[in-house]
Structure 1
Amino acid sequence: MRRRLPVALLLLTGMASCVAPSAQTPPVVPAPPVAAPEKAPLPEAPLVLRGEARQGSALYGTVPPGTVALRLGGQPVPFAPDGAFMVAFDRDSPTTLRLEADRSDGSTVARDLAVAPGNWRIEQVNASLTAGIPTAEFQARRAGELARIEAARATSAVSDGWRQSFIWPVRARISGLFGSQRIYRGTPGSYHSGVDIAAPAGATFVAPAGGVVVLAAQEPFTLEGRLLIIDHGMGLSSAFLHCARLDVKEGDVVHQGQVLGTVGATGRATGPHLHWGMKWTAARIDPVALVSQPTP
């Protein structure tokens, strides 16, 4: 005998048979990547330079429009918002260096600089080079002094003094030339790292250009005596050694021609004079090369 299904079950079965199969969701196809718009090439422009590339001297210039980085011999060179910059060449600089400006369109403008040799006064001495043995007290003091000098050199002050035509800090006879060196039976001694100006004790000296005082050693250093360092901006600095008195303090903003102190013979000096040294980043350069006035 055939068994009858309950009415409710028949209704459910019928409803299930009438339900349409659900449609499958189509796969999501990722949109193709949008290519970045190509940068329009910048117009060709040169590295503009003024002056002569020479050991111990400096050049001034302007970067091409769109420059984002500047290098000399692979080392970074700062430049101002208007594109102006300076570069300088150590007393023992290589005779060839490349100046490169990277631009925002990926291009590079480069110039190979032929660096002329400096005319240094070299003296041959028929004697052996003898060096004094530092005492324990000297060694203990010297470490702290060198740390202060290094910290001052690492400071990057904001100043436009580097743009100025430098003046003499004091006008007197030049008694020591930058770059001069003695050779002791074939062994070179240290070269003179600045210019000595034989002004009398107590004579005032002034700022050769504007800048910021980054070191003012009121307590004389063992070698430099009362030492003053002025940062002129863009990596250029002046150091004044053997001072009798300092009239400025660290952090002071000084202006060209402002009195900085007096000439003396503090530190290791045989008599009163002003030793004026200059550096651009790590390069030691001749202050005379930056002074627009004739030599005293």
Structure 2
Amino acid sequence: MRIPVFLFLALFSTLCLGAVQLDGEFVQGGLIFGKTEPGARVLHDGEKVPVSPEGDFLIGFTRDAPAESTLVISLPDGSKEERRLKVTKREYNIQRIDGLPSRKVTPREEDLKRIRADRAAVKKARARVDDRLDFLHGFDWPVTGRISGVYGSQRILNGKPKWPHYGVDIAGPVGTPVRAPADGIVTLAHPDMFYSGATLIMDHGHGLSSTFLHLDKILVKEGQRVKKGQIVAEMGASGRVTGPHLDWRMNLRGKRLDPQLIVGPMPSEQAENSK
């Protein structure tokens, strides 16, 4: 479901809850930027959350997150604060895509080994959790254009129900420059995965990563430091696609988030709504 600009603004909020400040969208697929006292420890739904020496941290909500989430802050003085966070439920579109090669919908036995290797490489690339705070400088759209697919939609490919879509698709011509949405380090630059084609993953710190699928060319290397706005790839139509586009996904320590909620309205739409 595409979230209108007025709803986007309504969902984004700042909560000051005692020893913690939370900024973001308290909705399924949302990312929350947290700030607490230096030296504090944070648990989110029972899981330990990385916290910077200055007290910065990130939490997120999955596509099907329950209506309530628990945040526990343990302060340096030994006191503890527990907060119940309300998470807004979303409705998702059913998207039917026909005309795909049958092999991309139902892989052959010889393809399964390649698919398993692809998944292992992606999992390893997203497993990085370090102290960098690249995410604090905000995010921009990696490309601008028509949004052709949204997070959370259930896809039916050639009549067969598949996993939900966990990214936002931006349509455009092959060769369109793709820019880093934020500073980061490249953790995967694969030229040809079975489903996603040329695939690029960059880490933004604390386990938050961006993934770019179906690229035509990758212009950076694994281990390379990239800056926000730097051209890192070119849009393509590789892998399982019906046309050229960029599929941008974001993950936070195993949770699949909605990039559209994190970056805000497409610049062209923002200008249109300000008239």
Match of 2:233 among 261, 282, 288: 261
Query: Are the counterparts in 2 of residues 47 and 110 from structure 1 also a CA contact under 8 Å?
Result: no
Name the aligned partner's letter for residue 205 of structure 1: V
Larger proportion of strand:
2
Alignment of 1:284 onto 2:256: yes
- Are 2:143 and 1:144 equivalent residues in the alignment? no
TM-score normalised to the size of structure 2?
A: 0.82
TM-score normalised per structure 1: 0.76
Give the SS at the match of 1:228: strand
Map 1:205-244; keep pairs closer than 5 Å.
205-218=178-191, 220-244=192-216
Whether 2:218 is the aligned partner of 1:246: answer yes
Change in Cα spacing, 1:248 to 1:121, as seen in structure 2 (3 Å) is: same
* DSSP-derived class of the 1:233 partner: coil
| SS of structure 2 residue aligned to 1:261 | strand
Residues 123 and 250 of structure 1: CA distance in aligned 2, closer, same or farther (over 3 Å):
closer
Alignment partners' CA distance in 2, 1:132 and 1:208: 30
Instruction: Give the drift of 1:143.
Output: 1.8
Residues 51 and 58, structure 1, Cα contact 8 Å, conserved in 2: yes
Aligned to 1:106: 78
Q: Distance in 1 between matches of 2:199 and 2:132?
A: 20
> Does residue 1:180 correspond to 2:153, yes or no?
yes
Residue type of the alignment partner of 2:185: V
Equivalent position SS for 2:251: strand
Describe the shift of the 1:132–1:272 C-alpha distance in structure 2 as closer, same or farther (beyond 3 A). closer
Change in CA separation of 1:74 and 1:207 when aligned onto 2, cut-off 3 Å: same
Deviation at 1:272, TM superposition (A): 0.8
1:92 aligns with 2:89: no
SS at match of 1:87: strand
| Aligned mates of 1:66, 1:251 — CA distance in 2 | 30
Aligned to 1:57: 30
DSSP-derived class of the 1:276 partner:
strand
Partners of 1:144 and 1:254 in 2: CA distance? 26
Counterpart for residue 80 of structure 1: 52
Alignment partners' CA distance in 1, 2:266 and 2:238: 28
Q: Which is higher, the Rg of structure 1 or of structure 2?
A: 1
- Per the TM alignment, residue 269 of structure 1 is displaced from its structure 2 partner at its CA by 1.1
Alpha carbons 2:38, 2:53 under 8 Å: kept: no
Match of 1:163 in 2: 136
Distance 1:183 1:168 in 2: 27
Residue 163 of structure 2 aligns to a residue in which SS? coil
Q: How big is the shift at 1:189?
A: 3.8
Which letter maps to 2:74? Answer: D
Which sections of structure 2, spanning at least 5 residues, go unmatched? 1-16, 269-275
> How big is the shift at 1:109?
1.2
Task: Please give the per-residue CA displacement for 1:205-237, whole angstroms capped at 9, x wherever unaligned.
Answer: 10011100000002x000010100010111111
Other structure's SS at 1:209 match: coil
For residue 116 of structure 1, what is the aligned residue in structure 2? 88
In the alignment, structure 1 segments of 5+ residues that lack a partner are 1-43
Q: How many residues are matched?
A: 245
